Structure 1
Amino acid sequence: MLTVQEESPRQEAVAALLRQSDALAAALYPGEYRRPLNPETLAAPGIRVFVARTAEGAAAGCCALFEDGKGGAELKRMIVDAACRQRGVGGALLRAVEAAAVAHGIHVIRMEVGIRNTDGQALYRRAGYAERGPFGRYAPSPISLFFEKRLAAEGDPPQAT
């Protein structure tokens, strides 16, 4: 049994998952490309943190949704605990984030994904995210891919991506 809900980033469980994310990024990408985040940064207005927990209450994964105030948001720091990978945690996080986004009037989610994060890329593609160009403050990068998914508002028919 897995549950996902919005939680405060100011907790050791989230900090531990962010450390795993930083360690994974450090192993995959050169230092100049990494952008560490911490629980205090994620506690800012307009940022919502979602935590997946096992039946025992252990944090299995987390991600953050950065709302842009214009009906869009960026998904950042999707991380699944190493011991919980390949158990549907990432998919559960995505479904919860998308449902919460629609409920809060967000109609598009975008993200930047590293080119070596093939598991993440596969998850996002399976969930209907499509590649797109850089957005917002992002510039083209040799180590980044960009994805987007348009979300249907409650009651709308499903949209093709």
Structure 2
Amino acid sequence: METKRVDSSNIDFQNLVQFLDADLAIRDGDDHAFYHQFNGIDMLKSCVVAYIDNRAVACGAIKPFSGDTVEIKRMYTNPEYRGQGLASKTLDELEAWAKESGYKKCILETGIMQPEAIALYEKKGYRKISNYGQYIGVENSVCFEKLI
């Protein structure tokens, strides 16, 4: 696996996000429109795309949240490639990039209908926190943080 640091203008990142959005539309059901409004990619400057044999298979991004905190966004792995540690390696690269950029903490939101994501974040040392920002009071959201 090879990872590349890109921004949201990267076509491979954009294509993977389209697959992510299609998957989330099914998982989120009626709640998809609410979540989708917070997941635009136009302003994402720090994105990672993972490749196997020159095929884009996983992605993620970081977005500044506050002075010392970034938010993990748009994590996705092609279903054909799941179970190979690609999401974990993509997350490692995002955390490394955040740390290199002077950030001290990563936060993120995921949905209760995404048990694979919850398991990944817990395995990678993220701990559940109270829902933040637009996710306060949203029962289908789970928020996490990790000091880096």
2:51–2:58 contact (8 Å) kept in structure 1: yes
Q: CA RMSD in A?
A: 1.6
CA distance in structure 1 between the aligned counterparts of 2:122 and 2:104, rounded to whole angstroms? 18
More helix per residue = 2
| Runs of 5+ unmatched residues, structure 2 | none
Alignment of 1:126-145 (within 5 A): 126-145=123-142
The structure having more radius of gyration, on CA atoms, is: 1
Residue in 1 that maps onto 2:90: 93
The one of 43, 49, 52 aligned to 1:51: 49
CA distance in structure 2 between the aligned counterparts of 1:137 and 1:27, rounded to whole angstroms? 21
Secondary structure of the residue aligned to 1:20 is helix
CA distance in structure 2 between the aligned counterparts of 1:97 and 1:15, rounded to whole angstroms? 17
- What is the letter of the counterpart of residue 59 of structure 2? C
Matched, 1:72 2:69: yes
2:27–2:113 contact (8 Å) kept in structure 1: yes
1:47–1:67 contact (8 Å) kept in structure 2: no
Secondary structure of the residue aligned to 2:15 is helix
Matched, 1:4 2:3: yes
CA distance in structure 2 between the aligned counterparts of 1:96 and 1:141, rounded to whole angstroms? 29
1:26–1:34 contact (8 Å) kept in structure 2: no
CA distance in structure 2 between the aligned counterparts of 1:129 and 1:16, rounded to whole angstroms? 27
User: 1:100 Cα deviation (Å)?
Assistant: 1.1
User: 1:69 Cα deviation (Å)?
Assistant: 4.6
TM-score (norm 1): 0.83
Deviation per CA, 1:106-146, whole angstroms, max 9, x where unpaired?
A: 10000001001000000000000000012234322111000
| Runs of 5+ unmatched residues, structure 1 | 152-161
**Which stretch has the larger CA shift, 122-131 or 62-71?**
62-71
Residue in 2 that maps onto 1:25: 24
TM-score (norm 2): 0.90
Deviation per CA, 1:61-103, whole angstroms, max 9, x where unpaired?
A: 1111001350100001100112211111100011111111111
1:91–1:123 contact (8 Å) kept in structure 2: yes
Secondary structure of the residue aligned to 2:97 is helix
User: 1:10 Cα deviation (Å)?
Assistant: 1.6
CA distance in structure 2 between the aligned counterparts of 1:49 and 1:116, rounded to whole angstroms? 24
Secondary structure of the residue aligned to 1:64 is strand
Pairs aligned (count)? 145
CA distance in structure 2 between the aligned counterparts of 1:113 and 1:129, rounded to whole angstroms? 12
